[in-house]
Structure 1
């Protein structure tokens, strides 16, 4: 049975880099660690991993947010299962942990965005996890 582990120390955060890099290919290890640490300190970002035995197989990062659109909600920033371990239910397990954490802390909504090219991920969110597609996310680089 896979085990769920919170990643809080710098060493623990660093241990998830190789898996997180599969999703966030633009980040080098030092930038990744610095961004996670800053997000933890300033934004309440939570990082967790799923282990099969002593091997990390998936990771999730999320944070509480408040907007006028959703009110108080949880934003899933990062969700990735290592490529060799996909389609084994790990993403479902991690998102279920996020849902449970949200309920326990008084949040009624969990939201996320997913790149347009990630068709398999969209199918997973909509069909397996019962998320609704409610908007597009727009980005302007300055």
Structure 2
């Protein structure tokens, strides 16, 4: 039985690290927890997990945003399914839940970015979830 669970406490956030680490390989557990907690407090970041029975199989992190381009929208920051659980419909179930949350809270757009190398993810977003490519995302690292 699939179960959607909000992860609010530090312990709950920490419980998603093994799944989230598959996507965010550059983070250690303490940095991950600190970043999630700060984003929850300052940016309205929502973290949730999908369980199949007692096993966490996927996680999603998203936040409401406002830009002149999209207006009010939801930005999916993180969406990951455990490698052993892929192609079982979990990502679709989790992202569909985000879509419903967005509608319930008055957001008409859900947007995300995906690494250029993630060809399978792009196919999923376009073919299964009916997302459209809208732009490229550019990044410049600054020395601080």
Alignment of 1:13 with 2:42, yes or no, is: no
Across the aligned residues of Structure 1 and Structure 2, the Cα RMSD in angstroms comes to 0.3
Corresponding residue number in structure 1 for 2:34: 34
> 2:135 maps to what in 1?
135
Compute the displacement of 1:89 (Å). Answer: 0.2
CA distance in 1, matches of 2:8, 2:129: 26
Alignment of 1:77-88 (within 5 A): 77-88=77-88
Displacement of 1:43: 0.2
Match in the other structure for 1:113: 113
Partner residue, 1:99: 99
| Structure 2 partner of 1:67 | 67
Q: Unaligned 5+ residue runs, structure 2?
A: none
Partner Cα separation in structure 2 for residue 17 and residue 88 of structure 1: 21
TM-aligned CA deviation for residue 113 of structure 1: 0.1
Q: Count residues in correspondence.
A: 142
**Cα deviations by residue, 1:46-68 (Å, 9 ceiling, x for unpaired):** 00000011110000000000000
Q: Counterparts of 1:128 and 1:31 in 2: how far apart (Å)?
A: 33
Give structure 1 regions of 4+ aligned residues with deviation exceeding 6 angstroms: none
TM-score for the superposition, normalised by structure 1: 1.00
Residue 42 of structure 1, CA deviation: 0.1
Q: Distance in 2 between matches of 1:104 and 1:42?
A: 22
